[in-house]
Amino acid sequence: MLIETPITVSISIHVDAHGVIRVDGTRVPLQNIVNLFNRNESPEQIHNAFSTVRLETIYAIISYYLGHREIVDSYIAEQRALDETTQREYLAQHPELIGLTERLRERIAARTLET
């Protein structure tokens, strides 16, 4: 059967108050889905990670990404840079938190060795 009319697929996303693009009805950022796709996760695996996002929405996001890779990659790079700037500013205001992750990992490793 030949389809004579073009098919349009829409994706349900919105920009939140902080400028983050999220999947409608969820708190899942678009970049999380794209990042998993770029790590060779299948749409089904992505759905398992984000079960609040419908599988057909994940397929639509991937389809949009493949058609607009440059725009989406640019947005993700901007978000990553903003996240890094925010983290640097926060740590400058709270220097006691610098190295916290490493200290926690060391404690966990020490407890693991004790058992």
Q: What is the pLDDT of residues 50-97, one digit of tens each?
A: 999 999 999 999 999 999 999 999 999 999 999 899 988 988 898 888
pTM for the model stands at: 0.74
Please give the average per-residue pLDDT across 34-63, as a whole number: 96
The confidence band for 111, taking pLDDT boundaries of 50, 70 and 90, is confident
Give the separation between CA 16 and CA 13, rounded to whole angstroms. 10
Q: Sign of the C-alpha dihedral, residues 13, 15, 19, 25?
A: negative
**pLDDT of 106 above 60:** yes
Q: What is the mean pLDDT of the chain?
A: 90
